[in-house]
Amino acid sequence: MRPTATIMAQPPSDAAWYTTMVVMDYMQAPLVALYYLGATSFALCVLHKAKPVRPTPRRIAAFSSVALLVAYFAETIYYLSRHFADARYSPPQHAAVRCLGSMLLWIPLSSNLLGKTEFIWHPYFGAFVGQFVFETAICMFRRIALSQDDRWSNVPFSLSTFRAVASLVLLIDGFVILIKKVAEKGTKDEEQSLLGAQPTDSTAPNGNSTTEYGSIDQANSDDEDENHLDKYEKELQEQQAKRLAEQGGWIGYLKSFTVFIPYLWPKDDWKVMGCLAIRLVHLLASRALNLLVPRQLGIITNKLTMGATVMPWHDIFLWALYSWLDSYGGLGFIDSLADIYIGNSAFERITILAYNHVMSLGMDFHTSKDSGEVLKAVEQASSLNSLVELVLFDILPIWIDLFVAMYYVTHLFDVYMAFMLLFMGMTYIWIGVYATTLTQPKRRSYVEKARSESTTVNETVHNWQTVAYFNRTGHERERYRANIRATIQAGYDYYFRSMGGHAAQDYLINFGYVGCCCFAMSQIISGEKPIGSLVTFMMYWGTITGPMYVMAGGFRHISNILIDAERLLQLLTTKPSVSDREDAKDLVVKEGKVEFDGVDFAYDPRKQIIKNATLTAEGGQTVAFVGETGGGKSTMLKLLFRFYDITSGSIVIDGQDLRSVTISSLRESIGLVPQDPALFNQTIRTNIRYAKLDATDAEVEDACRAAAIHDDIISFPDGYNAKVGERGVRLSGGQLQRIAIARVLLKNPKIVMLDEATSAVDSAIEAKIQEAFQKLSKGRTTFVIAHRLSTIVDANLICVIEKGEIIERGTHNELLLNGGKYYELWTKQTTGAAQTAVASKAGSSKAASVKDEGEPLIDITPSEDQDEATATGKSDGGDGGGSVSKRK
């Protein structure tokens, strides 16, 4: 073995100060780095805000840190040059380790001080303090060890003295920066305007949000990023940042996701828990096998190189066994099965949870939601499972592999090999992060161009008739071609940058691999290590470099998963505006008596919709709501159906307040024929049977006969098996309404609500439907919204609603005798019918669609059947946007 030279003149090995110096050499870089990383992580977790540092103090800190780095590098070069000049010289390991470790620490610190202008300063100042304490103490120990004549001629001591001075400068400069930042904070607090503090959420002059929450800066000063970033993604990021601030940082934010743990890994499901146990066992076993396989091959190699004359069957069997267990055909197969079962189970539970929650939300949510984003949130429920798997089965094994690899490589060769791997790993990760930073804008541009390409083809295909009308097929083809070429060009820009980063990383890995192997070979040639150690290292290389690949892209992967999971978390935190009470009971309907008692309601507190509505519908009666569009007629039915909860007053059915019964039992007892029915893209029979899932074909057909739609259905080529298209677009408006009526007839409820149910049918069909309604209404309470007053003349009670108030009530004859609003509406319709008939003969009849501004999102499209109704002089439409004949 080579004699180990030291930096001292024959130091006494038993001296306490010498032992202390060696320990400090080994511990300096790890302790300072541990403090810096810990303080930085804590600051990020609690959302400490990075603040600007003045240029002059920052330059002093940057210059001093670079001076430290250069001094450590110079001492390392000194040891290497002496070793190459004299093969018998071996550098003191504790000093060399200290230099290499400090270089690992001060390279990123110096880069930050040179490249940034804003800092969370406490971690830096603490690192400066630790650096000064260690460097000064070690310098003093070295001074004691050297004679007075050797002190200034000893290069390591001179460099240590220089670093001590640089550390002192860093300490003083860091303290000055810290004091000034505290003073500036107090000054800013004192200088706050007496008119009010600046809000955290502000809007820049260009309209961009500049919300700032801790370490997450939501200000988008870069116009290109602002244009490329998807609007909804940006909103999610802002909401994520807001919740980070509300939860007090990342710890509280991530803790909010723990509500999903029972759905990801339910304790009551022994299959899932068993699969989880299998995965944990495989996790530990694979860590051991990653080490045992190359080690066993190294043992075999050593025995063969030592002149073995017989086959080492025992060692070969162990190597084969370890290799099989570590393969997919061994434990990997079982682990994959367990992973698939856990993932599928979690996906089912989380997706059903999201779906149930969406379906339980009230009409206020469903009339304002973005359907595409809701569906995307439900579909991305698996992202939560991916997040847990990434943390437990990807990130955690990385750190285990990293520590094991550093220890084992040091055991195989020496600590210098471990530092070579650390330098390579840090550079690899830095290249990955830097390449991602450069690639991200190009990726956003590529995604935007691809989205534009998809939008173009969807628009032209959906609007084929418009393209054909104006003969613009050639124009649309060239526009689509231009979008494709723009997408391809953006793809080239993105992939070139991405592939450049991957190429640089692969070059580094290959160069590092060759360098490590050469270092190992040099120790084998010198006789310090057996050749089996090299074989073990080469086999172990994949395990060493594997964590680098995951860590380089892990941060962005986690960020994307959190954004995806944020969608679902945001959805699930949306509380339903209408829900069952804990003590809610099922509604029992006997007579069907409905009472409105002083009901008030508003969609928006700033505008009252229903005002002090009071009425009583006895069991079996028919109550009609009439009035101008926007008066609140449809809202009365929505309140009865409990799409919304009333603001004050009460709605009672047979003495049971609607808020005290379950929503399911209430809606099971009510049948509704909407003005704009929507069907599933399934067969007619399936759509009608939706009202009564166990109905027979005969019952379905009887309901259709009663609704006067049976003859139309059997005239179709496929009859009751004909598909209706999305939302029933293959049917006319009149056919849609009659199918909706057939569904209610099949349901046979105790209470029936008709929202202008005959607005899209002609007179002959209307007469048949009215006859069916008379049968349906016997013994049942019926609420009717009608703009055709002729359809409700036989109602037991007619309520005239204007601006949310019931201004008149009574029978048809009573209201006509009163000469009020009802009489005015009746006179307009009967007089307008004659005028419309004359105008129709002259070819000048016009119809206009009037949108009900008082009702939320009710979209009615006039159908071909309504044209005939208009021609007969009848005004069609419904509350919330029905078609109303416009007459002069």
Q: How confident is the model at residue 71 (pLDDT cuts 50, 70, 90)?
A: very high
Q: How confident is the model at residue 190 (pLDDT cuts 50, 70, 90)?
A: very low
In a domain, 864, yes or no: no
Q: How confident is the model at residue 362 (pLDDT cuts 50, 70, 90)?
A: low
Secondary structure (DSSP) of 88-129: T-B--HHHHHHHHHHHHHHHHHHHHHHH-SEE-HHHHHHHHH
Residues 74 and 145 occupy one common structural domain: yes
pLDDT digits (tens, 9 = 90+) for 236-281: 666 666 666 666 666 666 676 777 777 777 777 888 888 888 888 8
548 has a pLDDT exceeding 80? no
Q: How confident is the model at residue 426 (pLDDT cuts 50, 70, 90)?
A: confident
Residues 393 and 424 occupy one common structural domain: no
Among 185-194, 485-494, 524-533, the minimum mean pLDDT is found in 185-194
- Are the C-beta atoms of residues 636 and 610 closer than 8 Å to each other? yes
Q: How confident is the model at residue 860 (pLDDT cuts 50, 70, 90)?
A: very low
Residues 480 and 605 occupy one common structural domain: no
Of 772, 789, 818, which residue is a domain's last? 818
Percent with pLDDT over 90 in the chain: 3
847 has a pLDDT exceeding 50? no
Among 425-429, 657-661, 773-777, 857-861, the minimum mean pLDDT is found in 857-861
Angle at 796 between CA 792 and CA 797, to 5 degrees: 80
Secondary structure (DSSP) of 287-328: HHHHHHHHHHHHHHHHHHHTT--S--HHHHHHHHHHHHHTSI
Residues 420 and 371 occupy one common structural domain: no
Number of domains in the chain: 4
191 has a pLDDT exceeding 60? no
Residues 370 and 450 occupy one common structural domain: no
Of 785, 818, 851, which residue is a domain's last? 818
Residues 53 and 157 occupy one common structural domain: yes
Collapsed DSSP state (helix, strand, coil) of residue 706:
helix
Q: Which has the higher per-residue pLDDT, 530 or 856?
A: 530
Whole-model pTM: value is 0.60
pLDDT of residue 193: 39
Q: How confident is the model at residue 874 (pLDDT cuts 50, 70, 90)?
A: very low
Q: How confident is the model at residue 184 (pLDDT cuts 50, 70, 90)?
A: low
Q: Mean pLDDT in the chain?
A: 76
- Are the C-beta atoms of residues 597 and 806 closer than 8 Å to each other? no
pLDDT of residue 382: 62
Average pLDDT over residues 214-235: 44
- Domain of residue 771, CATH code: 3.40.50.300
Average pLDDT over residues 101-119: 87
Give me the residues paired with residue 597 across strands.
650
869 has a pLDDT exceeding 60? no
305 has a pLDDT exceeding 50? yes
Among 6-20, 121-135, 161-175, the minimum mean pLDDT is found in 6-20
pLDDT of residue 877: 35
In a domain, 99, yes or no: yes
Average pLDDT over residues 230-239: 61
pLDDT digits (tens, 9 = 90+) for 433-467: 777 777 877 877 887 788 788 878 888 887 888 88
Among 191-200, 297-306, 548-557, 589-598, the minimum mean pLDDT is found in 191-200
pLDDT of residue 507: 85
Q: Is the Cα torsion angle 852, 855, 861, 867 positive or negative in sign?
A: negative
Among 22-26, 422-426, 882-886, the minimum mean pLDDT is found in 882-886
Residues 713 and 572 occupy one common structural domain: no
Using CA atoms of 613, 616, 619, 621 in order, give the dihedral in degrees to the nearest 10. -80
Residues 459 and 518 occupy one common structural domain: yes
Query: Reading across the β-sheet that carries 670-673, which strands appear in turn?
Result: 670-673, 751-755, 781-785, 622-626, 797-802, 805-810
Of 793, 818, 843, which residue is a domain's last? 818
522 has a pLDDT exceeding 50? yes
Q: Is the Cα torsion angle 138, 140, 145, 151 positive or negative in sign?
A: positive
In a domain, 109, yes or no: yes
36 has a pLDDT exceeding 80? yes
pLDDT of residue 20: 84
Residues 304 and 446 occupy one common structural domain: no
In a domain, 69, yes or no: yes
Residues 566 and 626 occupy one common structural domain: no
Give me the residues paired with residue 648 across strands.
600
194 has a pLDDT exceeding 50? no
**Domain carrying residue 297:** 249-397+554-577
In a domain, 585, yes or no: no
In a domain, 669, yes or no: yes
pLDDT of residue 770: 72
Residues 426 and 569 occupy one common structural domain: no
pLDDT of residue 74: 92
Q: How confident is the model at residue 208 (pLDDT cuts 50, 70, 90)?
A: very low
Residues 259 and 374 occupy one common structural domain: yes
